[in-house]
Structure 1
Amino acid sequence: MASINCSAVPRLAPSFEPSVWGDFFINHTPDTLQISDEKMTERVNQLKLEVSGLFGACKNAVEKLNLVDALQHLGIDHHFEEPIAITMSSIHNAEFISSSLHEVALRFRLLRQHGFCVSADEFSKFKDEGGRFVNDITNDPKSLLSLYNAANLLTHKEGQLEEALLFSRHHLEVMQCNLESPLAEQVERALKIPLQRNVKREEAIHYIPEYSVQDEMYNAAILELAKLDFNCLQRIHQKELKAISMWSKNIFEDIKLDYARDRMVECYFWAYSCVYEEEYARSRIVLAKLLMLTSILDDTFDEHATLEECRLLAKAIERWDETDVSLLPEYLQKFFLQIISNFKEFDKLLEPHEKYRSAYIRKVFQNISKSYLQEAEWSHHDYTPSFDEQVNISVKSAGGDLVAIGALFGLGDIATKEIFKWAITNSGTVRACGEISRFMDDLADFKRGRNKIDVATTIECYMKENNVTSEVALAKIVSFVDDAWKTLNQELFERRAPLKIVKIITNFARSMMFLYHDKRDGYTNSKEVKGALESHFVKHIPI
């Protein structure tokens, strides 16, 4: 069958800004450091041994907690997973008596972060007979920040932690202007995006210069390791960005879909937010490429294709047969072949015993194509779905499933067949990440104002169905984001997957909180986050 010539079909003019990066990473020459990459790696390995010895040198539980907390804030805990796990297990099993709110809150947060269910009753000793927090702690900003960070690990129906969250946030806001550095900056960051919800590397970038100023257990070896490790990893990420930017440039030049967003660096940031460690390069690269192909697919359905073209493309992707290329309009043929070609390349990266993973990554791509088609059907028929209808489809189109499978695809043996089945069957972790992605995206879209061809957002569907104002609907959607985070917190200790897997997938939700903070769309309008991304990928940390 001859291909369909759609050149006569009227098209919308491209509405997206070009990439803010251009060929920057293709041409970028990293700054010359005082130490070579080889010497830097050698020194990192020496420091890892030195820091490992600190676990045995800790005199008590509080020192152990402070050590683990510092390693997490500095982003180097990935080097010490086993000693940290042993330490947290011993702390959980041992009696802990302290009159310090900071210490109790720190223990509570770290234990929950490491998969231990700790009762909110831990904070009862800091309340009066009426059940209210005692006044003394309202003048202790460090303890209030610790309480706030701990309370953000709340799960569903934990009224005590809801109360603690409101209490600590209120008093931190009141005293914020009178705090000294670096506590002032730490409070500001936490009030913008709570520690539990923020991108891990973003916290490390800020905390590294703060560590020596205020940390009670400051250790020069820990700080040197944090700086060197960041710079070592940044070198690796820069090389990957160079290669993946060339890949993306070739794709855009080949398929010539100038209506689509060229956001390769931002897609890489998503993948890097999930798995930044050196050993996860395969996972990171596959996920970044998968996200870029999905972004182009999204823009094709949303911005350019007619409804009939959407149906043809979705059908071709569902059939996954290269011979179907002739059924597509000319401008989509190269894109479809690029999809098939890249998925074949993904498959080549797998070991023989991992080949089953290809079916999963293909399935989530087909599923997201179906959800894009459903949204296109609604849009072209000017249909406003019910709130539940919209959520059921748009949570899938928001990419939680796709990111989960994409990240798992390149992992090692920890990602078993059982884990893939868990991830693709709407697990609590994956579903909650999809909800956060959808609701954060819709909050940004509503603030910006949607195009006429866009399907109604969850906010508009909620307004229409419940006959409420936009203010009421916006507040409700924000509460749904909070509910999804409660689910993710609960998944830390009520899970059917290893804690490491849960954390990797949850990192996608953290990247959404960062990119879409304050109802901005940091993906589409990436100039709003360019400076922040430069701190991750361009600027090294002075030694």
Structure 2
Amino acid sequence: MELSRSSIQGLVREIKEEMFSDIDPYTFVSPSAYDTAWLAMIPDPRDPTGRSMFKGCLDWVLNNQREDGFWGECDGHGRPTIESLPATLACVVALKKWNVGTREVQRGLAFVNENTEKLLGDHFPRWFAIVFPGMIDLAHEVGLQIALPMQLGLSMNIFGERQSILEREELVGEQFPPLLSYLEVLTPTDDKLIEESITKDLNLDGSLFQSPAATARAFMATGKRECLAYLQSLVQRCPNGVPPTYPMNEDLIQLCLVHQLQRLGLADHFAQEIDHILTHIHRNYQNQESGRGSRTASATQLHKDSLAFRLLRMHGYTISPWSFCWFLNEKKFQDHLEKNYEFFSSVMLNVHRATDLMLPGEYELEEARSFSRKLLEKSISIRNGDWSSLKRMIEHELSVPWITRLDHLEHRIWIEDKDMNALWVGKTSFHRLSSFQNEKLKKLATADYEFRQSIYRIELEELTRWFKKWGLVDLGFAREKTIYCYFAIAASNSLPYDSVVRMMVAKSAILITIADDFFDSHGSLHDLNTLISAIQRWDGKNLYGHCKTIFDVLDDLVKEIAAKQLLSQGSDITNHLQHIWHETFNSWLVEAKWSRNHYVPSMEEYLTTGMTSVGAHTMVLPTSCLLTPSLSNHKLHPNKYETLTKLLMLTTRLLNDSQGYQREEEQGKLNIVLLYLKENPEADIKDSIAYVKGILERKKKELLQHALIDGFSDLPKQCKHLHLSCLKVFGMFYHSSNRFDSEDTEMLKDIQQAIYSPINVGKTSKHESHNQTFLANIKTWI
């Protein structure tokens, strides 16, 4: 059910009060039922009659069984995961040990017996092979009967794999997490565990690998004061259920929260809160670089550092790649990552994502990207149902470059992902966003997404009426790309609900497509020169036919943008807008004369004109005047274009040419790919495309530098982001094929997902009606 704008704003205020009012960061992470149950099992040595030392943990177990009979955190859609199986067994063992919760024990056992095969599938990870059989053995020891209805072969495989691991691995060897970190499910006969083995690897804080469960078992086995002090400190800090790791990195928790808000499309609602967190994080990294901080080579540290790098750089902060590329100088740690690549796949995913934001000369990022990609490709080659959601994310990351993804659709992927509440991987489970915050954020994200869709549908209908009103539908020669143009701007940038920019950019893009087609193939040179003269004078009195239609639409669009700018900013930019459009039309005339006179320009001559004729700046600069803060008027003059604007003009031209050369060759036109072949007769088409893409990669890095990093451009931040969105739109259209000029099935699906299909498809007849409207009109729109 779509919420109103006021309801969404009310939910935002509610979340701000609950999540950003000096709240303990530990409350953002769900308690671990598995670890809490292990603390509940510890007997109180001061009570000979027998009771739990940590009664609060036992009470938590009693009071936190799920409706379906299991314990443990759910995935993003409220469903139990494979993690719930050992968690439920640990809880029923704890209750049975103290002879409480008979009904809860029976419901828990029923859940395990009925759901193990369904949750497990055909494959299981290393941690599950160690923990699950160990918990079954422990359940048997306390007198619980487990009758798993699994296939005999699968059951034998799990127990056989556990035995193989115990025989093959050292207690603390090359595998991660080390075998000793699962002490709670290892019996005294396993590798002859003795007190000296525990003492040797005990952390300074008294924990065993910062695992509450393993430390609880270590204390029960040895009675060490250090372990007890750790456990008491843990319960004091987390009285309502303990986390899967303690202590947790509080900066990492905050970064994960920012990451969640951004991935869900909610960043604009929490801009001040995000900026406050990132300013704090950035200050910590500055202290670290000046020698006032320390770093340990660990997977959690790398996860945090790579996530921080990406978020800080995306928000304009200056941060060195070495803030997370330090692992490239740690050969032993690299070997550790490679040997345990499957467990560290979520870490490598964050490393790879961080390298998306590579700037010129950052060769360490190229090395980090190559390293992480190699391990990610290896990890997805292994069939393992437990991490299916993570694997989909990895496949998406590797197959769809970040620069080609549209934000609105990325938000949908994250909202719909079943593990959208997973923060980072732990020993036996993900650290997950707590149910309370997760439900609120998911509700807000869904409402925000569907409210945007309702706006997009209304605007698209208005745009279609505008297209018909001006007779553009009857021209006959032009590509009809109304829905493509609107979809591109709506899905690429999370502009405010009531932003006029979407419509102005879409109208500009439609007009550019039509006018470009007119100059390419339909208008005579006489018509083209007549139209250019009219635009130069800005007087269409003597025009007729298609020339008059194009001029009238252009004149109306310029007046509309200028009027909105005058109303909001108090300045008249009419002359500036007329000039930039004249510049663009004139570039089309130059190219038309080249084509019809069979003139072959040099590559430099071609790019000088082609950077203008692609029209990217014609869409971005005029509409940037409608943003707040507004673009300065003088930035609209060709001699005043910022470097960022020039880079956008160049990169979009190269993207267009790298996939549009076949169409243009058929039309008798030249582009940079074809010109390279003419100037280099020994080269083939692959050489030419590689040459163009090489330039493109270098220029994209420069563009990112000017768009993201403060101090490289004087343009307002929103204007810089609009430039970046434009690049991503061209990347989406022209990355691997010419999607703009094709009836791409995947493109149609993307459009439907962005504008019509609700987050949960088919939940109301109204949404089904929207889908039917889309399908009924698709042939007309394309």
Taking structure 1 as the reference length, the TM-score comes to: 0.85
Give the aligned partner of residue 105 of structure 1.
306
Give the aligned partner of residue 579 of structure 2.
363
3-state SS, counterpart of residue 539 of structure 1: coil
Moved more, 150-159 or 310-319: 310-319
Q: Which amino acid in structure 2 is aligned with residue 291 of structure 1?
A: A
Taking structure 2 as the reference length, the TM-score comes to: 0.60
Distance 2:333 2:751 in 1: 40
- Tell me, which stretches of 5 or more residues in structure 2 are unaligned? 26-249, 289-294, 424-431, 764-782
> Given that residues 408 and 420 in structure 1 are in contact (C-alpha distance below 8 angstroms), is that contact kept between their aligned partners in structure 2?
no
CA distance change for structure 1 residues 126 and 342 in 2, over 3 Å: closer, same or farther? Answer: closer
Q: Is 1:83 paired with 2:284?
A: no
Q: Is 1:425 paired with 2:640?
A: yes
CA distance change for structure 1 residues 91 and 514 in 2, over 3 Å: closer, same or farther? Answer: same
3-state SS, counterpart of residue 499 of structure 2: helix
Correspondent of 2:369 among 156, 161, 165: 165
Kindly provide the CA deviation profile for residues 194-240 of structure 1, in whole angstroms up to 9, marking residues without a partner as x. 33552111211111112545343252111111000001111111111
Give the aligned partner of residue 700 of structure 2.
485
Correspondent of 1:410 among 626, 639, 643: 626
Q: CA offset at residue 62 of structure 1? A: 1.1
Q: Which amino acid in structure 2 is aligned with residue 61 of structure 1?
A: D
CA distance change for structure 1 residues 243 and 336 in 2, over 3 Å: closer, same or farther? Answer: same
Give the aligned partner of residue 290 of structure 1.
508
> Given that residues 120 and 161 in structure 1 are in contact (C-alpha distance below 8 angstroms), is that contact kept between their aligned partners in structure 2?
yes
Distance 1:526 1:249 in 2: 24
CA distance change for structure 1 residues 423 and 280 in 2, over 3 Å: closer, same or farther? Answer: farther
Q: CA offset at residue 449 of structure 1? A: 4.5
Q: Which amino acid in structure 2 is aligned with residue 134 of structure 1?
A: Q
Give the aligned partner of residue 244 of structure 1.
463
Correspondent of 2:673 among 459, 462, 465: 459
Give the aligned partner of residue 328 of structure 2.
127
1:343-362, aligned counterparts within 5 Å?
A: 343-352=558-567, 353-362=569-578
3-state SS, counterpart of residue 395 of structure 2: helix
3-state SS, counterpart of residue 478 of structure 2: coil
CA distance change for structure 1 residues 506 and 332 in 2, over 3 Å: closer, same or farther? Answer: same
3-state SS, counterpart of residue 475 of structure 2: coil
Distance 1:196 1:68 in 2: 21
Q: Which amino acid in structure 2 is aligned with residue 337 of structure 1?
A: D
CA distance change for structure 1 residues 423 and 239 in 2, over 3 Å: closer, same or farther? Answer: farther
> Given that residues 409 and 491 in structure 2 are in contact (C-alpha distance below 8 angstroms), is that contact kept between their aligned partners in structure 1?
no
> Given that residues 273 and 508 in structure 1 are in contact (C-alpha distance below 8 angstroms), is that contact kept between their aligned partners in structure 2?
no
Correspondent of 1:156 among 335, 341, 360: 360
Q: CA offset at residue 166 of structure 1? A: 2.1
> Given that residues 422 and 497 in structure 1 are in contact (C-alpha distance below 8 angstroms), is that contact kept between their aligned partners in structure 2?
no
Moved over 6 A (4+): none
Correspondent of 2:520 among 302, 311, 323: 302
Q: Which amino acid in structure 2 is aligned with residue 137 of structure 1?
A: L
> Given that residues 625 and 632 in structure 2 are in contact (C-alpha distance below 8 angstroms), is that contact kept between their aligned partners in structure 1?
no
1:127-526, aligned counterparts within 5 Å?
A: 127-128=328-329, 134-138=334-338, 139=341, 140-178=344-382, 180-195=387-402, 197-210=404-417, 211-212=419-420, 214-215=422-423, 216-217=432-433, 219-252=438-471, 256-323=474-541, 326=542, 328=543, 330-352=545-567, 353-412=569-628, 414-417=629-632, 420-421=635-636, 425-446=640-661, 448-467=662-681, 468-491=683-706, 492-493=708-709, 494-523=712-741, 525=743
> Given that residues 627 and 719 in structure 2 are in contact (C-alpha distance below 8 angstroms), is that contact kept between their aligned partners in structure 1?
no
Distance 2:329 2:269 in 1: 42
Which structure would you say has the larger Rg? Answer: 2
Give the aligned partner of residue 48 of structure 1.
12
Distance 2:532 2:734 in 1: 28
Q: Which amino acid in structure 1 is aligned with residue 605 of structure 2?
A: E
Give the aligned partner of residue 774 of structure 2.
none
CA distance change for structure 1 residues 350 and 119 in 2, over 3 Å: closer, same or farther? Answer: closer
Q: CA offset at residue 193 of structure 1? A: 2.7
CA distance change for structure 1 residues 288 and 424 in 2, over 3 Å: closer, same or farther? Answer: farther
Distance 2:735 2:621 in 1: 25
Q: Which amino acid in structure 1 is aligned with residue 680 of structure 2?
A: N
Kindly provide the CA deviation profile for residues 375-413 of structure 1, in whole angstroms up to 9, marking residues without a partner as x. 11111111222222222211211122112213313223x
3-state SS, counterpart of residue 349 of structure 1: helix
Distance 2:320 2:24 in 1: 26
Q: Is 1:57 paired with 2:23?
A: yes
Moved more, 270-279 or 484-493: 270-279
- Tell me, which stretches of 5 or more residues in structure 1 are unaligned? 1-33
> Given that residues 387 and 458 in structure 1 are in contact (C-alpha distance below 8 angstroms), is that contact kept between their aligned partners in structure 2?
yes
Give the aligned partner of residue 427 of structure 2.
none
Kindly provide the CA deviation profile for residues 11-40 of structure 1, in whole angstroms up to 9, marking residues without a partner as x. xxxxxxxxxxxxxxxxxxxxxxx35x53xx
Q: Which amino acid in structure 1 is aligned with residue 450 of structure 2?
A: N
Residue identity (%): 23
Give the aligned partner of residue 25 of structure 1.
none
Q: Which amino acid in structure 2 is aligned with residue 57 of structure 1?
A: I
CA distance change for structure 1 residues 399 and 316 in 2, over 3 Å: closer, same or farther? Answer: same
Give the aligned partner of residue 772 of structure 2.
none
CA distance change for structure 1 residues 259 and 458 in 2, over 3 Å: closer, same or farther? Answer: same
> Given that residues 459 and 503 in structure 2 are in contact (C-alpha distance below 8 angstroms), is that contact kept between their aligned partners in structure 1?
yes
Q: CA offset at residue 181 of structure 1? A: 2.3
